[in-house]
Amino acid sequence: MINVQDGDAIILMLEKENRNALIVIDGGYNKYYGKIKRRLEEVLPRFGNKIDLLVCTHYDNDHLSGVENIIEDYHSIIREIWIHKVEHSLSEQEKYLNQEISRLQESKDDEKSIKEFSAFDSMDFVLEAYKDLVRVVEKIRAYGLEDITKEATRGDFLAGFEEFSVISPTKKYYDDYLEELKDETYLNETKALLLEHQSEDRSEFAMPKLTEIMEEEIVASNPCEHLKKSSKGVSATNMVSIVTLLKIDDRKLLFTGDSGIESFTDQGLLDKNIKDLEFLDLSHHGSKYNTSKELLEYFNPETVFVSAKNGKNRPSKNIVRCLNEKRTGDNVFVTNKNFDTWYLKYTNSKNIYRVTI
């Protein structure tokens, strides 16, 4: 798990018998791409200089913008891409997204929009995030990768490595969200993300109030009971994140993207396949809105990795405390807990390493 702060970039290295597979899940923010490329250059020779699968879990730019660089540098050796679309084809998707960019560009001069986005420096960030998505789609089309691109849903797996499969979303769950995804588009996604980060950045440096200190003490005594019970308000894009499971005999490793609580409960996914996990990639950088007591009790993970900045709320203190009281204990590892962390490494023998730059 590469340290891209509040983003995601994961490299899986699978080996069995006479075959192996290199899988990349998301690309983080593009400003951290150098870390990803450096690690890829180290491991590619061991895997026949190929990327067997590139997974784009969803459209938030903290997961997606670095994917553009991966495709640019490695398009000739990528064997398969999993990515969701809100249009029937990538050409339609590109056209649709460019129309949205034009609409947003025009609205920059609109007084109402300026007031609406006064919380940020400008709408430029929103536009740039939208353009990240367009550039990824453009790269896929420009390099002729449409034929190896799949809208992955539950039941899909990597050929030759059936152990690595998609458990969410189901096709029906994704289709049910499709219109909401189009209506919501990337504007609301990015606006919500910015507001959330802005709020967390402010709270990180603010002096705690007496009421907050008292509440903290109450929660600390029973953290699991204070976790969210619903992901109400979490974006459609996050809810339909591609969630993948690596299952080897009775060993289970779950990679969650930014999926929400209902991503599991509403689809009836809490079955034996994801019960008592060996390893959990905690959803949405440990956000309090994406993990419940019910999920943690079901997952019951031995080890948890969190790709996060390690600010006040990423990961959520309540979630970490709840995990500390369970089988996980102190086996919760946050990428940016040490600023000089390059990546966290989890081995076949369950050893954990923090590799520094």
Rounded to an integer, the average pLDDT of 101-123 is: 53
How many CB atoms lie under 10 A from the CB of residue 321?
18
Confidence of residue 57 (pLDDT cuts 50, 70, 90): very high
Q: What's the pLDDT at 53?
A: 99
Reduced 3-state DSSP string for 216-232? HHHHHHCHHHHCCCCCC
Q: What's the pLDDT at 180?
A: 72
Give pLDDT tens digits for 62-103: 899 899 999 999 999 999 999 987 555 566 666 666 676 666
How many CB atoms lie under 10 A from the CB of residue 294?
15
- Could you give phi then psi for residue 20, rounded to 5 degrees? -145, 170
More reliable by pLDDT, 131 or 187: 131
Reduced 3-state DSSP string for 324-348? HCCCCCCCEEEHHHCCCEEEEEECC
Report CA-CA distances (Å) from 171 to 1, 7, 177, 262: 28, 26, 10, 15
Domains and CATH numbers, the chain: 10-356 (3.60.15.10)
Distance CA 84, CA 88 (A): 10
Tokens found for residue 73: 């540098």
Global pTM reads 0.86
What is the residue-averaged pLDDT of the chain? 85
Rounded to an integer, the average pLDDT of 312-339 is: 95
Pairing type for strands 19-25 and 157-158 reads: unpaired
Give pLDDT tens digits for 280-323: 999 999 999 999 999 999 999 999 999 999 987 889 999 999 99
Q: Is 197 in contact with 191 (CB distance < 8 Å)?
A: no
98-99-104-106 Cα dihedral, nearest 10 degrees: 120
Rounded to an integer, the average pLDDT of 177-206 is: 57
* pLDDT exceeds cutoff 70 at 186: no
Distance CA 298, CA 263 (A): 14
CA atoms within 13 A on the CB side of 6: 20
